[in-house]
A and B are shown apart, each in its own frame.
Chain A
Amino acid sequence: MTAVAQRDPKNSFQDMILALHDFWSANGCLILQPYDMRMGAGTFHTATTLRALGPEPWNAAFVQPCRRPTDGRYGENPNRLQHYYQYQVILKPSPENIQQLYLDSLGVIGIDALKHDIRFVEDDWESPTLGAWGLGWEVWCDGMEVTQFTYFQQMGGFDCKPVAGELTYGLERLAMYIQGVDNVYDLNFDGRGVSYGDVFLENEKQMSKWNFEVADTDALFDLFNKAEAECRNCLNNNVPIAAYEQAIEASHVFNLLQARGVISVQERASYMGRVRDLARSSCEKYAEHMAPKWQAKFPEWSL
């Protein structure tokens, strides 16, 4: 048996992640695993969206793989990927020292704030799909956006009571920065010489080709319609979490259709409207479903 080594975030992508886990675990977060569905951003994880609703305290951190089919570059662009990782922290209610906690987490992965210029630059967040918005910043490190920092004000069309603070770290970017690497595929994944390219380059090539060229568009259209119908079915049967999963599915299928270039500008708005409708309905249903339980525990609280 090998003894557990010290984390080495400066030379290892996985150690950077583990260091963040250590840090946020020590600061009271549940360490969750990724949601097992294809999604465009960590915010879609139910640990963020659905848990941002309601009065109960909730502190969690997790890595979420994100799929952005149109960002694929066949493995040829040093910065762009159709599949990458976000590190999400959700703290509800937002603690008073949330900025300091965040800065401390940067220290843990090796960023010296007296050598690097860290800045909070206004960047408000809005997701019409989720009926959500918040105020916050993009955090810059030497001019590079490394984190999205948001105080959720509304989710699923409901006021957040209380407000949650959400941190979304772009893991590859941060690692490239910390390791001093100009090409994402050159990142040292494990500190022992396995590169990010060894793990993901072939994946990026094939998936870019599939996203842009191969995926059967008739099947995708069909999937979209089926996800939409199933979402309605779930809503009718009062299982909003299942409905929400179908909304996420529809959203990703829509992104694939976009990458295949088969949705015209005119149709685009209508598809987005359909996805939005599914996601919002699911969030609303979830909130309504949970409201009695929440109210029982927090008598002062109302939806």
Chain B
Amino acid sequence: MSDFLLELRSEEIPARMQAGARADLERLFRAEMAAAGVSPGAIRVWSTPRRLALIACDLPLATEAVSEEAKGPPEGAPDQAIDGFCRKNGVTRDQLELRDVKGRNTYFAVIEKPGRAVADVLAEAIPAIVRAFPWPKSMRWGAASLSTESLRWVRPLSGVVALLDSDVVECEVGGVASGRLTRGHRFHSSGDIVIAGVADYAATLREAHVIVDHEERQNLIREQAAKVASDAGLTLVADEGLVIENAGLTEWPQPLLGRFDEAFLDVPPEVIQLSARTNQKYFVCEDSAGKLANAFVCTANIASSDGGAAIVDGNRKVLAARLSDARFFWEQDRKTSLEDHAKKLERITFHEKLGTVADKVERVAKLARWLATEGIVKAEESTPQAKVQLGNWAFDAAMQCKADLVTEMVGEFPELQGLMGGYYARAEGLPDAVADAIRDHYKPVGQGDDVPTAPVTVAVSLADKLDTLVGFFQIDEKPTGSKDPFALRRAALGILRLILDNRLRVSMFDLIANAAHSGKSDDKGQDIASFLIERLKVQQRDANIRHDMIDAVITVEQRGDTVRMVNRTAALQSFMETEDGTNLLAGYKRAANILRKEGWEDTAERVARTGDEDPMENVDDPQMRAIYAQRGASGGLSYTPEAAEKALIDALDAAEPQAATAIEAEDFAAAMAALASLRAPIDRFFEEVTVNADEEIKRTTRLGLLARFRAAVHNVADFSRIEG
């Protein structure tokens, strides 16, 4: 058994690509070995900015010899056939063996494939791996790039170390020959480093000031950064992304703490942190009170001769220049009120067919006020004054919510949109509720993001997203496939989460109608509602709510009240998980099948069954209700019903009003319980009563009864939508 080392050395590999490259290297190596029939033991993959390394343990020295047999034509077959068989298998005629197959002498070719030296397998595998490497971006370089066929790598490939134990695996790729020579740290080491054997690799590099194991560098940065902070009496603000990035930028990481001018702390802490993090890849620190401290931790790549003093000083200056820019923006921006900043939004196009950002803001403000005055978003107190104030604040906040887009700070740091608006609003003395709404109105942004709960914020956030969603649908810019350039799926999800988390009782049709942009096509309501429902299904899937349950509820829940819909779906799904539920579904399907077979026609037949239709096309049909109501009322029968028949009628008489009342009161669990009371009677009915009776009157009546049962179930949920 042998161990194998492959080091692919190059100019600096982008930090963000290293994790993917490690995975790709291992995957490609395993694939090459599998194809050659070699099964390696443990595999380790390491990366630094200047090298990718793989160590595979316990490789055999040779692949196993394989003997393959091929059955050919029988003895006496035409020469042509026999020669063809020989050619195909690469043997001569005298090498063929004759064997008895079912009493006939038949030619066999036995091909002995000797084992191959694993070194040879590796020598072929290395160039193949390098050529197949899927870098996110790769390049050509040097004299060879006179042709576009030259090797591509993430940055110029400068060396390949390939050792099987202590022997070089000879190969060549892109003009680079393999060997045992590599380089150490760019500044702490000079000239070639000799790797004696696989086992010496990491230690030899360490002597040359390279920690080749990225995890070791990450640990070192994590611990040392925390330590230099605590040595200064501070706490490091942990940032795993920065740990990994800095480990990807260094071979000999040295976290160093520096201080910046305390005066910069006037600038909002998020700005300082962002500036330090994204531009400079520095950690920041907090004092014992949890406030941002005037300190940063940079990660150098050298153990410098002066203990890092010059490095810290240089980094301090760079940060100071960045922070003085930020402070300049912070001061400059506040010289103009948000209201005046907002005027400049007239110059920014939101979308060529949807006007400027100023136009958008105006629509959002009106919509936000409407949400408040309609009581859809409720004020914290239930007085008329509170409602009016909520409306005004929502309007004001919305009018100014995008103003920070034209500030210098957000121009420099687009990630700070909203947040800066909030700071500027507070600085000019706007009410906290307004400032909070400006700050948070983009929320919820991602899946895990907090959903606003403050009424003003909810109104502005909801209005903003509705305006976007509805507007883009009105100009036919809806998402298709993987394309969603205006992030409408995210907007829809935001809308749903705002509604559900805040239990906003409103019909989505009302929301859509009120968010409609005037002068644009107004026939998209159904499309938008369907889109929201699709998003709802996706969102509820995470809560383990089945999409067919949602479909079953949507057909009967036609007010478009999402909160009601979700509650009803949850109740339905938990009912369907009970034995009563499953049996009732079976009874329902049986009844529905009989009715269909008998060609029983009533309005309920219109309920679609293929599952492909638009779930919202079943608009509330008053006729249908009338028919159900009439059915329910026709109690008098012209013959004496059988006991089971009577029992079902009685059960329906009791269950129908119970379910109706419960649904009205939104007690969906009670509605399900009412349905559950039908399970035993319907089972018994099927057991004891012949629907297809000889007497026409009985047959019709019984079919009618089944239809009534089906309708009663339908009033709670459309069971035909439920799968299984």
Using a CB–CB cutoff of 8 Å, the interface residues on chain A facing chain B are: 55, 78-79, 93-96, 99, 103, 112-122, 124, 134-135, 137, 141-144, 151, 153, 159-163, 165, 177, 182, 264-266, 298, 300-301
Contacts and interface: CB of A to CB of B under 8 A. Distances in A.
Contacts of B301: 117-119
A135 B186 CA distance: 20
B311 A151 contact: no
B145 A162 contact: yes
A122 B142 contact: no
B321 interface: yes
Contacts of A161: 145-148
A85 to B, nearest CB: 19
Interface in B637-666: none
A116 B306 CA distance: 10
Given A117-B300, A121-B249, A142-B310, A99 B146 contact: no
Interface string B212-240: 00000000000000000000000000000
A298 B145 CA distance: 13
A115 B148 contact: no
A74 to B, nearest CB: 13
B188 interface: yes
A143 B314 contact: yes
Interface string B131-162: 00000011111111111100000111010000
A44 to B, nearest CB: 22
Contacts of A182: 317
Contacts of B349: 265-266
Contact of B314 (A55, A79, A137, A141): A141
B316 to A, nearest CB: 9
Given A143-B280, A162-B145, A113 B16 contact: no
A160 B304 CA distance: 39
A78 B142 CA distance: 39
Nearest to B258: A143
Contact of B318 (A116, A143, A160): A143
Given A142-B310, A298-B146, 14 more contacts: A78-B321, A93-B143, A96-B158, A112-B305, A116-B310, A121-B12, A134-B139, A135-B155, A142-B315, A142-B317, A143-B280, A143-B314, A151-B139, A160-B145
A162 B317 contact: no
B580 to A, nearest CB: 61
Given A114-B302, A117-B302, A142 B314 contact: yes
Given A115-B306, A120-B49, A153 B140 contact: yes
A144 B321 CA distance: 10
B298 interface: yes
A122 B15 contact: yes
Nearest to B13: A122
A85 B143 CA distance: 30
Contacts of A160: 140, 145
Interface in B284-320: 298, 300-302, 304-306, 310-311, 313-315, 317-319
Contact of A115 (B49, B142, B147, B305): B305
Interface string B175-200: 00000000000111000000000000
Nearest to B250: A119
Contact of A117 (B145, B147, B155, B304): B304
A69 B497 CA distance: 47
6 smallest beta-carbon distances between A and B, as pairs: A142-B314, A122-B14, A120-B12, A143-B315, A162-B145, A163-B145
B712 to A, nearest CB: 60
17 contacts: A78-B321, A95-B142, A115-B311, A118-B187, A119-B250, A120-B12, A137-B12, A142-B310, A142-B318, A143-B298, A143-B314, A159-B148, A161-B147, A163-B142, A177-B314, A264-B347, A266-B349
A156 to B, nearest CB: 15
B11 interface: yes
A114 B145 CA distance: 34
Contact of A114 (B188, B249, B250, B348): B188
B431 to A, nearest CB: 32
B320 to A, nearest CB: 8
Contacts of B16: 122
Interface string B309-346: 01101110111010000000000000000000000000
A162 B352 CA distance: 43
Quick one: which of B12, B143, B145, B186 has the most chain A CB within 10 A?
A: B145
B305 A94 contact: no
Nearest to B328: A77
Contacts of A163: 139-142, 145
A95 B144 CA distance: 11
Contacts of A94: 141-142, 145, 156
Given A151-B141, A159-B148, A142 B249 contact: no
A120 B248 CA distance: 11
A115 B310 contact: yes
Nearest to B315: A143
